[in-house]
A and B are shown apart, each in its own frame.
Chain A
């Protein structure tokens, strides 16, 4: 146990705190903010229907598939490989390791390559297309490079610089049981872990919030059941209503008092009786 060990553990704890705290706070904000009006865009009318369509949307990216197959190919591969890689890394978090996690042992490596390739593809997509280049911000490129860095350092460890995984596991389990045990780390492992920490810290403050955000997007999660139930706006307030009139008595009922007493143009208040008007008087 030495100073870097202690520092590294502290960094890990800060990461966990900021990630979990920040994400929980954002989700809390999303959940508690009221939605005043119904704005579904052609969603199903029932709750099971909405759940089903959301499930298809977040697992298969149906909208992107239907509108932009090339983007779908890149982004779907990218997200699925991210998931597989995260599942592969679960073996560092469990003791003993459950059997289903070991299922991802080999496929997770291929997924690592897939992340690399799809990230490069998504990066190229931003650069090649004139429209995408215009809308991309520095942070969009940076995040993809960051992920390429994580994937590359991870794959490097797998093939070229085998590290003593038992130590790494002890460190990670230590993070969650609040005990200090960090291994002597290879530089590449330090880079890998620091990049991962940075990504997790950045998550609740960035566009990565699209992951929880999609589950709160009113155009997708609201039921299309406007005919069946009344939507109540929780912060609704009363607004003035002009008195009712018909064409026969509207001159009497109209409120001619203008706020701030601005003069109306001449002829504005002229009273015309309908029956006289018809007779041409």
Chain B
């Protein structure tokens, strides 16, 4: 079953008005992209398309393989929320496929009506810019597709074509540009980062009466924590949770102002910016001389970090482990070794449910052994008395996106974000939980609004928030 609730009826162009603002020139130059639509954009776009087809097996295979069985249709939270047929993954991919057929297949050239092959025109480009920026690359469709077609990859390819001819959104380009200037997505300057860490130290001093450090740029620390910058600024309970956990385990850790962000918004634009953003992490680790790099509670950070870091960087063999490690795995390992004294009654005031962030659940080592589907759950089970699971078709590898992934967390897309979060809100309402734990900064930013919009009385927070409340120092 796709969806334990009612699937909406089709309504043409229901989501057409949800469009992102176009990118600003300053940001586009800062991230090495054309500032406006290049003059010969049609030829340019087809050339880039041909290059991607030559470079990417996934795109090449996914373009041919779809039989339009419709199994993915009701899998997408944006379709479930908006009812716009172009938000069905198969229809979204069709926007790119119809151009592919026209320029790259014989059948499409001969029978363009029966095969639905169309030329790349301005209308088609408009459609691309609208609907490929209504996809959160969450890959839920890939779980349902019998051929493993990942519409997220198709979206990435379409966005790369658009970015390189000068079409991108303000939110995504702004964020990537900020990373190159300040080291993080929120644009927090290094001194402000240091200041905010000191503020949190004072906060912890008040709470625990102990000097619990949040070190910044500490050379020779054991662990470099690459957390989402929002944890330092917005979801401070999660950041304090990390600090308390490291303190209790007696581990010498640090953050880096060169790379105080795990999330990789370059992934939503093109390969160049994705790699450029990613290699900052390993560079920071090497310059600071840390033993291990640990990824914080962030969905995109994990999606761009776990599978790709070893590809984008020469090697991670200087580090232990020589591959990206998630903080939930780290804490779980220590917890199993008995490093913490935990008191579950600290979380008795909440009824907890766990929302798998889409990019964590489907980007990870999550099959035969314990993976990112189990570690956070084990942490919650060991720190809370009241833990309930949502409907089985809405969790684990079939989890929904919060509705704002992949650069959709822009204010102008608010109706789309609320619609995309609806399935998650309904699933949460059905189990009556009042605390939704999730290890993802984007989920923590969007889901509170979603819960409020759909009138679900649930608070949203991190896994380490709960851990901190149950930990006895």
Residues of A within 8 A of B (CB): 26, 29-30, 33-45, 49, 57, 61, 63-64, 67-68, 71, 75, 126, 129-132, 134-140, 142, 202, 205-207, 209-210, 213-214, 216-220, 224, 226-227, 230-233, 235-236, 239-242, 244-248, 250, 254, 258-260, 262, 272, 274, 277
Contacts and interface: CB of A to CB of B under 8 A. Distances in A.
B150 interface: yes
A45 B311 contact: no
B115 interface: yes
Contact of A131 (B10, B54, B365): B10
Contacts of B217: 246-248
B276 A230 contact: no
A205 B107 contact: yes
29 contacts: A30-B60, A33-B56, A38-B311, A41-B143, A41-B150, A49-B368, A63-B144, A64-B71, A130-B10, A136-B68, A137-B116, A139-B111, A206-B107, A209-B65, A213-B147, A217-B62, A217-B147, A218-B57, A218-B58, A220-B147, A230-B311, A235-B55, A242-B258, A244-B258, A247-B217, A247-B257, A248-B217, A262-B26, A277-B191
B235 interface: no
A138 B61 contact: no
Contacts of B111: 139
Contacts of A217: 58, 61-62, 65, 147-149
A244 B114 CA distance: 56
Contact of A135 (B56, B73, B139, B258): B73
Contacts of A63: 143-146
Contacts of B272: 239
Nearest to B86: A134
A61 B71 CA distance: 12
A233 B308 CA distance: 10
Contacts of A36: 55-56, 271, 311
B367 A224 contact: yes
Contacts of A139: 111, 114-116
B280 interface: yes
A227 B323 contact: yes
Interface of B: 1-2, 7, 9-10, 25-26, 29-30, 32, 53-58, 60-62, 64-71, 73-74, 85, 88, 90-91, 94, 105-107, 111, 113-116, 139, 142-150, 153, 180-181, 190-191, 193-194, 216-217, 256-258, 271-272, 275-276, 279-280, 283-284, 287, 306-308, 310-311, 315, 321, 323, 362, 365-368, 397
A185 B25 CA distance: 70
Contacts of B32: 259
Contacts of B366: 42, 224
A250 B144 contact: no
A35 B58 contact: yes
B283 A241 contact: yes
Contact of B74 (A29, A41, A131, A240): A131
Contacts of A210: 64-67, 147
B136 to A, nearest CB: 15
A214 B147 contact: yes
Given A138-B113, A250-B257, A67 B71 contact: yes
A227 B307 CA distance: 9
B440 to A, nearest CB: 18
Contact of B276 (A39, A131, A240): A240
Given A34-B57, A231-B310, A130 B9 contact: yes
Can you list the 8 inter-chain pairs with the closest CB atoms, starting with the nearest? Answer: A213-B65, A247-B190, A219-B148, A220-B148, A246-B217, A205-B107, A217-B148, A38-B307
Given A42-B367, A71-B70, A246-B256, 14 more contacts: A37-B308, A42-B366, A43-B367, A57-B146, A129-B70, A131-B73, A132-B70, A139-B111, A207-B64, A207-B65, A245-B257, A247-B257, A259-B32, A262-B29
Nearest to A217: B148
A68 B194 contact: no
Contact of A244 (B26, B73, B271, B284): B284
Contacts of A29: 60
A43 B142 CA distance: 12
A41 B64 contact: no
Contacts of A272: 191
